[in-house]
Structures are given as C-alpha cells and as structure tokens.
Amino acid sequence: MQKEKESAWAFTRRWLNEIHLWMGIASGIIIFLVCLSGTIYTFKEEIQEWMEPERYTIAEIPTSQKRLPLAELIAVVGQGTGKEVGSITIPHDLDRTFLVNVRGKEEKGRGSNVPVNPYTGEVTASGDPVGGEFFMTMFRLHRWLLLDTEIGRPIVGWATIIFTLIIISGMVIWIPQKVRYWKQGLRIKWSGNWKRINHDLHNTLGFYSAFLLLVMSLTGLYWSFDWYKEGLFKVLGVEQGGGGRGPGRAPGHEEEVEKAAIPTLELEMYLEAGDKHLDYDGTYRLTLPKETDSEITLFKSKVGFFAPSASDKVVLDKATAQLVAVERFRDQPLNQRIARSIKSLHIGDVYGTFTKILYFIACLIATTLPVTGTIIWINKMRKKKKNKRSTVAVS
C-alpha cells in the first residue's frame, strides 16, 4: 500500500513537473519582460527623487522654519499656472516641498502636481519629473508589452494566469518526498556543478519568493480582465470602485436645492483639527472644497520605513472645523481593507520601504526564473536525446 502511495505521488510530481516546465517555456519571454519592467518600476519614486532632488526636497530651510499660509501658496500656483487648484499635499518632514494639484477646465484626468517651496512660495520644478518618459515606457511594457491595450492587455493577463499556475505547481513540486530532504531544498549547493547550481537557483529562490509572487500575480489580474475585477469584488463582498463607502450621507438622500456659499476658515485650522483626531506624524492631502460645500475632507497617511500605504480620512464642518466623521483604515472590515489595498498589494508599498525591498527582491528573482527554467529544459532535452542515442546504439 505504501509503495502504491509513493508511486502515485511520484506520478503526480512527474505530471506536474512536465506541465510546470512546458507552461514556463510557453510564457517565459512574456513573464521575463513583465517581471523585469516591474522590478525596475518598484523604486520609481526613489529613483526620480535621486535624479531631480530639487523637485522634492528643500536645500535651505529658514532658521524660523515658518511656512507661508496655505492660501497664499495655493493662490501663487493658481495664478502662475492659470489652472484650478484641487488639492494640496502637506508632508510631515520640514525639508519636503508641498505638492499642489492643478487641472485646467477642459483637462481630464487627475491633473498634475506642482512642487512648491512652502517657505518662499517658489515653484521648484516645472514640467514632468525627470525620468517620467522612461518609467512610462516601463509601465506600458509591464501592462501591455508596448502594444495596443486591446492586444497587449489580454496577452499579459493570460501569461499572468499561466504564471500563477506555474507558482502553485512549483510549490507542490518543491515539497520533498522525505523529511530529510527538506533542508537540502532550502539551500543552494554552491559546491555543485553549474547544472546543479542553476537547478538550485531555480527551485530554492523560487520557493522563497513564491508567496509574494503569488500575491503579485493574483492582484495583477485585477487590471487585465474586467470579469476578474468584478468577481474579486463579489468575493470580497464590497462595491466595485473603492472598497466600501466612506463617511457622509447615503445615496438617495441628497436634496437638490440651491445652496448658499459657506465661508472657508484658514486651512491651517482644518489641519489642527485633523491632528486632534489623527494623532500621529503623517502627510496630509487636503481637498479644497467648493464655495457651496458644507464639509471639507482631509486624508492623512503615516510616514516612516514601515509606514502603511493606506490613509485615514477626516471630514470636518467647513464653517466650524468640527468633526463630522472619521474613517480609520485599521477600523474597517478586512474585506474592505483588502479591496482598498489591491494596488499596494501589487506594487509592494503595503508597509512602506520595508515591503518594497521585499517585493523588489522577489520580482528580481521572478525575472531570473524563466532563464534558469529554460536552461533546465535545455539540459533535460539534451539528456533525453543522449539517452535515446544510447538506446539506439545498444540495439
């Protein structure tokens, strides 16, 4: 009975190994390009800041360390660009520039961010960030293989599905048949020949990075197929588009009446009110209200090496700065937190720089897997061919 079980297990492993191998060969080039571009894109912001520090940091901070009023900074940027200011991002660090988001009346999308020195009101950089075109190319390579979206999107999507199956089958294949071989499977035998080292690099590094790669592939499908996105939200039990409704009025209860203009307080007063309810060091993003709005919304995210990417939300009464509602990310149900974190789970900034480093290493390993896997396949084909010749010669 034991021998039958072992032979069945051996047959299953051999069958999975063949599938794993041929799926890797079929999708290897696409996986290599997607993983390579994803690896490069991981530290996009850090690389761009290194290339153009004046856009993001302030060389000299006045001894008074007194920032100009937010209203003045917003007015300067609005007049200078001729565009409408939608929001302003206020970093916690004193040596960081403020980002003022502007958008033209006929302009679509999220607009553009203008970096401003908060002590002088000077716009520190103009145009797109240095390296923006290169990273956009990497983005398009990662998402669409530089092809038309209608063509490249499904190709990358199906390659990602295959990659998911490769990861799962690889984890099953990796499991040693006997306990004493577990330690051997967790390390690379550098003293072996090049074939053994290549084999260990593929198996061992693939095992260590498997979980993060599985998270990347499962979340990456969110942007490849609409049916996957819809199914994911149904499984999570949240409405498509944001992972749950934030604080405020429920739909269907708005009254369509003419509203009177409500005066806006000094914007600093809203930040002070926000600190009372979100008492931690963090970066604010303040969305500027319209004249008739009765509320003002602030988003705050923590800073630091392990800082989570998710932000908390505070809604204040515009006329009095009194609290209307507060929405802390940690207080939301797990399904809503997952829905809000799909992008972060894919790009790796779930817990700041710490997880980005882990994702970078895992994605770099993923880039090597098609290469080491192809070498294993070539060696296997050569071995089969050699054995076949030997059999013919003996006959």
Same domain, 147 and 24: yes
**Residue 76 falls inside a structural domain:** yes
Same domain, 206 and 72: no
- Is 351 within 8 Å of 364 (Cβ atoms)? no
**Residue 11 falls inside a structural domain:** yes
Domains in the chain, number: 2
In the numeric block, the tokens 């369509």 are attached to: 256
b/e sequence 194-232, b meaning 16+ C-beta within 10 Å: eeeebbbbbbbbbbebbebbbbbbbbbbbbbbeebbeeb
Min mean pLDDT across 42-51, 188-197, 258-267 is at 258-267
**Residue 222 falls inside a structural domain:** yes
Same domain, 162 and 108: no
Same domain, 66 and 200: no
Number of Cβ atoms within 10 Å of the Cβ of 308? 19
Element of type H or E holding 299: strand 295-302
Q: What are 286's strand-pairing partners? A: 88, 298
Same domain, 152 and 230: yes
Same domain, 224 and 179: yes
pLDDT exceeds 70 at position 265: yes
Instruction: Report DSSP letters for 244-263, one per residue.
Output: S--SSPPTT-----PPPP--
**Residue 385 falls inside a structural domain:** yes
Same domain, 209 and 76: no
Q: pTM of the predicted model, to two decimals?
A: 0.86
Task: Kindly state the average pLDDT of the residues 321-335.
Answer: 94
List the one residue out of 37, 39, 30, 20 whose CA is nearest residue 373.
Answer: 20
Same domain, 113 and 215: no
- Is 304 within 8 Å of 352 (Cβ atoms)? yes
Q: Who's near 237: CB < 8 A, 6+ residues apart?
A: 335
Task: Kindly state the average pLDDT of the residues 267-278.
Answer: 94
Asked whether the CA dihedral 278, 279, 282, 286 is positive or negative, the reply is: positive
Please tell me the distance from the alpha carbon of residue 32 to that of residue 216, in angstroms, as a whole number.
14
Instruction: Tell me the backbone φ, ψ of residue 300, rounded to 5 degrees.
Output: -135, 130
- pLDDT for 246: 39
Residue 105, domain extent: 59-85+98-127
pLDDT tens, position by position, 343-358: 999 999 999 999 999 9
**Residue 105 falls inside a structural domain:** yes
Same domain, 24 and 146: yes
Same domain, 33 and 104: no
- pLDDT for 395: 56
Residues 327, 307, 49, CA angle at the centre, nearest 5°? 115
Same domain, 222 and 360: yes
**Residue 252 falls inside a structural domain:** no
pLDDT tens, position by position, 358-387: 999 999 999 999 999 999 989 888 877 777
Same domain, 104 and 189: no
Half-sphere exposure of 173 (CA within 13 A, CB side): 22
Please tell me the distance from the alpha carbon of residue 313 to that of residue 286, in angstroms, as a whole number.
10
**Residue 276 falls inside a structural domain:** no
Please tell me the distance from the alpha carbon of residue 155 to that of residue 143, in angstroms, as a whole number.
9
**Residue 361 falls inside a structural domain:** yes
